[in-house]
Structure 1
Amino acid sequence: MNLNLDLQLAFEHSDTPSLQQFELWASSVLADYKDDAELTIRIVDNEESQYLNHQYRGKDKPTNVLSFPFEAPAHIELPLLGDLVISAPVVCAEAKEQNKSIISHWAHMVIHGCLHLLGFDHINEAEAEEMEAIEIAVMTQLGYNNPYEQQ
């Protein structure tokens, strides 16, 4: 798979993964669906995450990952998937609260977000089960634990 990843560090945190790690995680999940893909991953603080979450989802709090799929005009094929916005403070706090390694939680957020960019969702139980099964398979393939099991 050919991945063009634009990593934007609007907020730097000591536990922020490298560009190569983000590329590995994204390409691991996207390879089954795309030959070529372009996406942006933007690492932000809680303030930007909360603003975007409020603006686009009506939830006035920061969140771990927001997915903004790109929708091309009809009949135009582009490899652009969209943008992921990840709050470093939320990811690190959740990892600690859930007793998970920070790096595995970062991987999970990228995989989860990429699946949203591909059109997967977890609004109803059937969709959630399908999405979670893919997340678990990719995480396991990468050597991480099932992100939905208590550690």
Structure 2
Amino acid sequence: MFNPSRDQVRQFFIDAWNKHKTQQILSPLEAIALDWIEQHPEYHDALERPDSMAREFNVEEGKTNPFLHLSMHLAIAEQLSIDHPRGIRDAFDKLASRTNQHEATHEIMECLGTVVWESQRLGKALDSDAYIELIRQRVSRD
């Protein structure tokens, strides 16, 4: 199982952005990452700053961690591609039909963040049933 360090994750996104800017060939995963990077121009500065590798992005200070955010986009893209947990693709399509694919992904991201936080807090494996249920609750909202 692939379990990259914080620095490896950050370097991956920085490298993908740099490759794009210098017109180098991207791996398939880098190409997916680039799609999300391009949809988040507010993160471009962080991807270009040398101090981003060591920088802390504290929620308490109102700062979004661009690397975490982009990583969650990648995780959700993978989940959608294999429809796991089962039903996530259908739920995503319904959410996207109300807004757009990016906003639908952000709605799912909030659910993912909730179950990851709960998993870490309890020291247990991520509850995929709770995750898909949170997503379905969002779908059923008017």
**Structure 1 or 2: more helix by fraction:** 2
Q: Which has the higher contact order (CA 8 A, sep 6+)?
A: 1
Higher Rg = 2
**Structure 1 or 2: more strand by fraction:** 1
TM-score, structure 1 as length reference = 0.31
